[in-house]
Amino acid sequence: MDVWDALSPAERKRIVDSLPSEFPASEAQPPEGDAHFNAKVAARDVLGSYFGRGGRRVYLACELPVYYPGEKMFAPDLLAVLDVDPHERQTWAVADERRGLDFALEVLVSGNRRKDLTGNVERHARLGIPEYFVFDRARLRLHGYRLSAPGVNVYQPVLAQGGHYHSGVLGLDLRIEGERLRFFAGRAPLPEAKELIASLERLVDTVEQRLEAAEARAEEAERRLAEVLAENERLKAERRRE
C-alpha cells in the first residue's frame, strides 16, 4: 500500500486497467451450466431491484475479478459493496477502491466443495469480508458465515431461525424455497423479475377489464339516452296530432 500511495493517479489507472480478468488455465473452473448461472444472476437482479427502489447505492456484480493486496485474484459468484457508486467495473481492486467487499455469495452445484466450504471460509474471514454465504444448490442447503466483530478474522456460523438466515450486511434474510435461493425483507419475499412481470401483466389486465367495463357502461348509457330522446320525440308528435 505504501508503494501504491506513492503512485500518481495515471499510474494507478494504468495498473488497474492492466489487471487480468480471467484465471490462468491451470486454475480456471469449468462452467457449471444453467442451475449455477441462473441462481447467481437471479440473486444479483433481485438485490439490485430492491436496493434501487430504496434509493441505496449498492454495487453488485457476478464473477467480477477481485484483487486484495498480496492475494491471488478471486471472483465470487456474487459480491456486494454498500454505499459506493454502482458504475460498471472490470475489476474490484481494493487498493484503488479503498475498501474491500461487504458480502460474498457462492453457488455450489458441481464445483469444488472444498474451495467454497473451506478455502473461501478461511480466506474471506482473513481478508475481513463481513459476511459470506454458500448456496449449495446440489444439496439444497445454505451455509452462512459472519465476522463477530471488527478485527476478528475468524468466521462464526450464521444460525437459521425458522429456516431464515439473516444477513446483517444486507438487512435481509436468505432462505431456500424449492430449488431457489430467495431473499426476504422481514417475512415478505423479494419479487423476482418474472414475478414482477406477472404482477404487472395482472395489473394491466385489471386496468383493461375496468376500461372495457367503463366503455360498456358508457355505451349502455348512450343507448338509454337515445331511447329516452326517441320516446320524447314520439310523445311530442302525438301531442301535435291531437
- Tell me: the pLDDT tens digits for 131-150? 999 999 999 999 999 998 88
202 and 185 housed in the same domain: no
Q: What is the pLDDT of residue 29?
A: 64
pLDDT above 60 for 202: no
Q: What is the pLDDT of residue 231?
A: 78
Q: What is the pLDDT of residue 235?
A: 77
Whole-number average pLDDT of the chain: 87
158 and 95 housed in the same domain: yes
- Domain boundary among the residues 172, 190, 208 is at 190
62 and 154 housed in the same domain: yes
158 and 200 housed in the same domain: no
Please state the rounded mean pLDDT for residues 116-129. Answer: 96
User: Confidence class of residue 218 from pLDDT cuts 50, 70 and 90?
Assistant: confident
The answer to whether 30 and 22 are in contact (CB under 8 A) is no
81/228: higher pLDDT: 81
68 and 154 housed in the same domain: yes
222 and 114 housed in the same domain: no
Structural domain containing residue 235: 191-242
151 and 215 housed in the same domain: no
Q: What is the pLDDT of residue 194?
A: 66
pLDDT above 80 for 97: yes
**Overall number of domains in the chain:** 2
Q: What is the pLDDT of residue 224?
A: 83
116 and 176 housed in the same domain: yes
Task: Let me know if 94 is exposed, middle or buried by CB neighbors in 10 A (0-12, 13-18, 19+).
Answer: middle
Range among 7-16, 78-87, 199-208 with highest mean pLDDT value: 78-87
User: Confidence class of residue 166 from pLDDT cuts 50, 70 and 90?
Assistant: very high
186 and 218 housed in the same domain: no
183 and 155 housed in the same domain: yes
Q: What is the pLDDT of residue 68?
A: 96
Q: What percent of the chain has pLDDT over 70?
A: 88
Q: What is the pLDDT of residue 28?
A: 53
In CATH, what number is assigned to the domain containing residue 91? 3.90.1570.20
117 and 174 housed in the same domain: yes
- Domain boundary among the residues 190, 211, 229 is at 190
- Domain boundary among the residues 190, 210, 234 is at 190
User: Confidence class of residue 197 from pLDDT cuts 50, 70 and 90?
Assistant: low
226 and 171 housed in the same domain: no
